[in-house]
Structure 1
Amino acid sequence: HTTQSRVQGSKLKSHNSITVASLFKDAPPEFLRMIVVHELAHFKEHDHNKAFYQLCCHMEPEYHQLELDMRLWLHWQER
């Protein structure tokens, strides 16, 4: 995710965006959902701390299992 700040007159405007790597275009949709949840959580919590993971689990109750499955899938893709 990226955050861009721009000065417009006397105000500071920010813009948040999420870009997903092309590696995930063939990934199962559950992994894409987990990635989006992860990046959305970064808009509120910048660090990977307890509050961050609580927010991820609030948005996606199976977050930890999906993250593990995705890591295994990525490892399998490296072959």
Structure 2
Amino acid sequence: MEFSLAQVLQEIDRELALRRRVYNQLVRKGKMHYSDAEQHYLRMLAARRIVAAHPHEFVEMPDAEENAVGLYKTDQP
């Protein structure tokens, strides 16, 4: 499976929007400190800028152990 640069950047943007929304809620509820939220958000933003700056780099797809689908396994067949 391959993903285009546009698809990867779109996914990072989705993650940034999710973090912005969730972290704001967590900070307001006192479950996350503002500086921690800011650092996590800024690191993801930095990752986006790195990916955007290197559009021709090749990244291998995750192997079976790293595959994100494995994180969501259920007992169902």
TM category (shorter chain) comes to 0.3 to 0.5
Higher helix proportion, which one?
2
Give the structure-2-normalised TM-score: 0.34
Give the structure-1-normalised TM-score: 0.33
Higher strand proportion, which one?
1
